[in-house]
Every structure is written in structure tokens, then in C-alpha cells.
Amino acid sequence: MEIFQTTIKQVISISGVGLHTGNKVTLTFEPAPEDHGYVFQRVDLPGEPKVKADCDLVVDTSRGTTIEDNGARINTVEHVLAALAGLEIDNCLIKLDAPETPIMDGSSKPFIDILLASGIETQKKEREYFEIPNRINYADGKGVEMMALPANDYRLTVMVDYNSPVLGSQHASITNLNEFKDEISSCRTFCFLHELEALVKNNLIKGGDLNNAIVIVDRVIEENEMANIAKLFNKDSIEVKKEGILNNVELRFQNEPARHKLLDIIGDLALAGVPLKAQILAARPGHAANVEFAKKIKRAYLASKRASKLDNNVPVYDPNVPPLYNYQQLANILPHRHPFLLVDRVIRLTENEVIAVKNITGDQYFFQGHFPGEPLMPGVLQLEAMAQAGGVLVLADKENPEKWSTYFVKIENAKFKDKVVPGDTLIIRMALTAPVRRGLCMMKGEAFVGNRLVCEANMMAQIEENK
């Protein structure tokens, strides 16, 4: 079933303060065209620079996720991105007149509400998902583990495990993004009391108060200390509830901290830049781990796109189809002989392109020294095989090809992408990149094993009649 991209129907704004900066900020969501993705814009800066929501632009994860580009920095992007991703909105321009998104109540719910108030509009281009093909793992060596597994939709399970008698171990999960709005979006950020005290004393949460976070009390506090904490947060009084949290808020779910961690993951993984179909499992995640995991997912996605593009470009070799030229016939075109004739068959030949085959057997002479313990076809011989295939391309139409030779005079941009080993079948494509003039020919060469590009190069050859 085709699923199309979406954006919002109309411009809509929300105002608040930044948690860490304390700056008043108005955030405006605007519709965006297909394939736009999520882009932030600092309208308060000269030139109104834009910053794409991209994991490779993350510059800080110490107290939220911060991105920066074009001289503009956007702090605490995760709750906004979680709202957009949770509603499966693909394209949106997010304008701010300050360096940080508004914290609101510490959740994504206020953003969900105004996005729904704006309305969601279906666009004309199909949504592209990254369907995780194989397991992707991340671990930081400090207890954080994250995993993406193949799935038909987007599912997430999170486990948090703090050394705290109050919080302990918690789990949260969703089996479909449709659950995000009601089950996850309203869950607020949380912190331990000792962390909050330190942040306040060091003026690191200028916009923070006891209304936009769950404060977990992880130690016994005396009455006089309680009074000092109340004064610190401009409260007449505070107390600790039996659940081990300050009386600033009521828990919306028993496992609200774990649900908020899930919210953060959805927001941070949106920085990978593509909707996912995957089962995400996360143990003890945080912003730093989420972003590194997003980078691994993004790299896997880009690799899959390259592979997909490559798949459409890979020559197909069917050994059951008789070749245009076999090994013996090639000896009538090329001057090379055993053991230096490195083309076994030609399976396709047009005016501008040749496709040739070389079977890499274990008894090849060059494996004796390259290397006895790990036999590899030398890169220079891969280039030679490509050059010989190119020789067939330019000599096959000559009346007496044996009276002509091709001398390769230049090789540029040679790249060796993967190993070629005994048992491989090397499929070579050489294509003219310009008409042959004055005996000079320019060619683009590629060599494949299966659907893997193992070698590529640009070559120039001089065609000369033998004297």
C-alpha cells in the first residue's frame, strides 16, 4: 500500500521559555514541500540561517540535543522532533526567534496539540521508509545498549535502570507510532534532586521550575533543607510524596520516566533523516547514545541507497547463455596470452560498452605470493583485466584486430572497494565516456563481484597499429 508524505496545513505558533537559556521564545511551525524533512530556522539572526535536523550536525548532548550549522545553534530539539515524528509528519519548517525551543511542560504534548490544531495535509509524493535489513547494534561500554531489528512497522521498547530505590528499573514500549500521542507524548522530562540543585546553583536551567520536570528525591532530606529547596525554586513549601518525587507534579503514568526516555529516542532518531520500519530495543539510553545510534542508522540507510542504486546498475551474468567471445576467440583480438590474458568471456558488446567476465580460480599464479595465507587478487591486476576488456571494446570492430594494440596512458580515480578472492567471478564493465578521437579513447571502468562494486577507475588508452 502506498503511503504518502505529509506536512501541516497552516502556519501555527507556540510560545514559552527555553529550559537552559531562560529566553522567551516563539516557535512557529510552517508547511514545507515534499522531501524537505525537518529544518529549523533562527529568524532572530542575520540572514535567518537554517539548520537541518541531522545527527551529523549535533554538537552537544549534555543537557538535551543541540544542533548547529550556518553559525546558528538550536538547543533542545528532541521534544519538538518527537512530536513531528510521532504524528508521522514528514516535512516541516520550524522557525524560532531564540536559540532554544520552549520547554513547555517538559513533554511533547503541547507541540502535538498545536500541530493537530494546524491539521495534517497529505502530499503527492510517496513516503520512503528505511526498512532495517539487518540488526544494527550500539553499545558505549558503560551499560548503554541499543539495537535495531527488522520489522514491518516502528516499534520501540526502552528499559531504564538507575541505582535508585525510588526509580529502580522501568520499562516502556509502543508497538506502533499511532500510540505515541496518547501513551508517550505527555510524559515529562525528569531528573534527580541532586542534579537539579547543581543545575540551579550553576545557572544552567534558567528557564526551569518545578512545573516542567519530575523531580525524583533519591536521598533523605531534613526539614531545613526542604525549606532551602523551596526557596531555591520560589515555592512557599515543598514536600516529598510517597512515590519519592517532589509534590510539584502528579505522575501521569507509573512509569513516566521510562516513557519519557522513549519519547527522547523517537526525537533523537528523527535526526537520522528517514522514517523507520524497525524494532528498537534500548537499555539505559541517553541523548549521547541516541545520537550515536542515529548516526549508525543513517550510515546504514545511505549504504542501502547506494546498494539499491548499484543493484540497478550491476551487470547480470548468466553462465548458461553462450558468450559473444570465449577465451580462445579473445586471443584473436587481444595480444595477451596465458597467464596474462585476464578476460575469460565477453557477454555483451555495443558501440559504447563491453561487459566481460573473469573467473578467479584458486590456481591463479599471482596467489602464490599475494598472499599465501590470504590469497587476494592484486588491485593492479584488476585494473589490467578492466584494461583488457576495454581493449576488446575498441578493437573488436577492426577488420584485423590482431594488427592493432591498445596502450593505456592514464588511469585516474582508481578505487578498490572490496577484496577479490578465489572463487569469485569478476564482472567487468567498460564504457566510453567520449567519442574516440585521433586514436585516443576515454573509458569508465567498473568491476563487480555479485552486486558488490570492488574496483572502479577512469582510463585513457591510445590505439595504434602494430609496426
Active site residue 171: no
Q: What angle do CA 88, 308, 278 make, to 5 degrees?
A: 35
Asked if the bond preceding 371 is cis, omega within 30° of 0, the reply is yes
For residue 256, which of 244, 267, 268 has the smallest C-alpha distance? 244
The DSSP code for 56 is G
Quick check: 96 and 25 in contact, CB under 8 A?
A: yes
Cα separation, 117 vs 122, in Å, equals 15
The DSSP code for 99 is S
Quick check: 314 and 452 in contact, CB under 8 A?
A: no
Cβ-Cβ contacts under 8 Å for 32 (sequence gap 6 or more): 7, 39, 91, 92, 93
Quick check: 459 and 447 in contact, CB under 8 A?
A: no
Active site residue 287: yes
Cα separation, 28 vs 147, in Å, equals 34
Cβ-Cβ contacts under 8 Å for 463 (sequence gap 6 or more): 394, 395, 404, 405, 406, 436, 439, 440, 441
Gyration radius of the chain over CA positions? 31
Of 36, 171, 336, 370, the catalytic one is 370
Cα separation, 145 vs 168, in Å, equals 18
Give the N- to C-terminal CA distance of the chain in Å, as an integer.
Answer: 66
Of 20, 260, 287, 336, the catalytic one is 287
For residue 53, with 0-12 CB atoms within 10 Å meaning exposed, 13-18 middle and 19 or more buried, which class applies? buried
For residue 428, which of 393, 386, 388 has the smallest C-alpha distance? 386
Quick check: 66 and 9 in contact, CB under 8 A?
A: no
- The residue written with cell numbers 515534499 in the block is 34
Which positions are catalytic?
287, 370
